[in-house]
């Protein structure tokens, strides 16, 4: 998993509540188990009409938001199903940080497992950031995970809270597999000891 330390980029305002995972990545695109290739379908029904043409009014179809790295949304972002394809699609599009007053629990947890930083801030703070983001090309935001601060194009600095363990994992690019592999030597040592003391277990398994 890619490490998350600092991030600087365009922030796209998406002032909508209850954006569910089917809106983030519709069900017809869930056939893949790959984490790549989903970005083109991010917010598919909001970005495109029935003919597949772009909806010009949708924020990610406008310059400079086509290259947004940060998304600013409203309450209950990521509600609905537990599909992990939702953070996959966001990340594949290029978005590494989502800011909202609240997130659905499963989506929030899945973000950390896929290198995305979800930042929870008070409603009035998020509304203010969305207004700043609406400035377009001047809407460059900056996020420092180590210091737990972020700032918008207006220069105002905002602190945010994050669980220390999740912060550690993001800073070091550790998903569940990465965390397990850090214990690889201990796992190998245990298996070697167990193989010596209980060889029948490994014989039964063909090892």
In this prediction, the residues of the chain whose per-residue pLDDT falls under 70 are: 178-184, 189, 204-207
pLDDT at residue number 204: 60
Residue 178: the pLDDT is 67
In the prediction, which pLDDT does 184 show?
67
Q: Which domains does the chain have, with CATH numbers?
A: 6-174 (3.20.19.10), 176-207 (no CATH)
* pTM of the shown model: 0.87
pLDDT of residue 102: 98
DSSP string, the chain: ----SEEEEEEEEE--S--BHHHHS-GGG-S---SSS-GGGTTHHHHB-TTS-B-TTSGGGSTTGGG-SEEEE-SSBTBSS--THHHHHHHHHT--EEEES-B-HHHHHHHHTTT-EEEE--HHHHHHHHHHHTTGGG-EEEEETTTTEEE-TT--EEE----HHHHHHHHHT--HHHHHHTTHHHHHHHHHHHHHH-HHHHHHTT-
pLDDT of residue 166: 96
What pLDDT is attached to residue 89?
Answer: 97
């Amino acid at each position: 998993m890619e490490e998350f330390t600092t991030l600087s980029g365009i922030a796209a305002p998406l002032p909508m509540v209850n954006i569910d995972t089917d809106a983030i990545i519709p069900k017809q695109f869930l056939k893949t188990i790959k984490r790549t290739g989903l970005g083109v379908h991010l917010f598919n029904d909001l970005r495109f009409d029935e003919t597949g043409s772009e909806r010009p009014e949708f924020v990610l179809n406008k310059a400079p938001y086509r290259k947004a790295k940060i998304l600013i949304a409203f309450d209950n972002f990521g509600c609905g199903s537990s599909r992990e394809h939702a953070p996959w699609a966001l990340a594949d599009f290029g978005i590494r940080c989502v800011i909202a007053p609240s997130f659905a629990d499963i989506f929030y947890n899945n973000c950390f497992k896929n290198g995305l930083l979800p930042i929870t801030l008070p409603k009035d703070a998020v509304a203010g950031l969305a207004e700043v983001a609406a400035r377009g090309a001047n809407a460059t935001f900056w996020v420092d995970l180590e210091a737990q601060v972020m700032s918008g194009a207006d220069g105002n600095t905002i602190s945010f809270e994050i669980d220390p363990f999740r912060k550690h994992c993001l800073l070091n690019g550790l998903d569940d597999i990465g965390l397990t592999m850090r214990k690889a030597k201990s796992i190998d040592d245990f298996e070697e000891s167990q193989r010596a003391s209980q060889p029948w277990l490994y014989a039964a398994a063909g090892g």
